[in-house]
Amino acid sequence: MAIIINLDVMMAMRKKGLTELAGEIDITLANLSILKNNKAKAIRLSTLNEICKALNCQPGDILQYVEDEENPESEQE
């Protein structure tokens, strides 16, 4: 996927742990861990809003667009 979630970087910069942030934004540890480990397929804007509020950052500090590398398998189709 071309969108990278840099939540772990922002959490480290703000010195916030997973449990602390999960409690502040009212999200389960499991769901926050999925976001932190860049395994999420989607994120609700309300969740992104709460994360930005808790970490005092902008959405662009957390989300990054990186172009996908060419996939040779998809070119053959």
Please name each of the domains of the chain with its CATH number. Answer: 3-68 (1.10.260.40)
pLDDT of 74 reads 46
State the average pLDDT over residues 11-34.
95
Share of the chain above pLDDT 70, in %: 88
Which pair of tokens denotes residue 70? 């060419």
Residue 71 has pLDDT above 90, yes or no: no
Alpha carbons 16 and 5: distance in angstroms, whole number: 16
Q: Provide the pLDDT confidence category of residue 69 given band limits of 50, 70 and 90.
A: confident
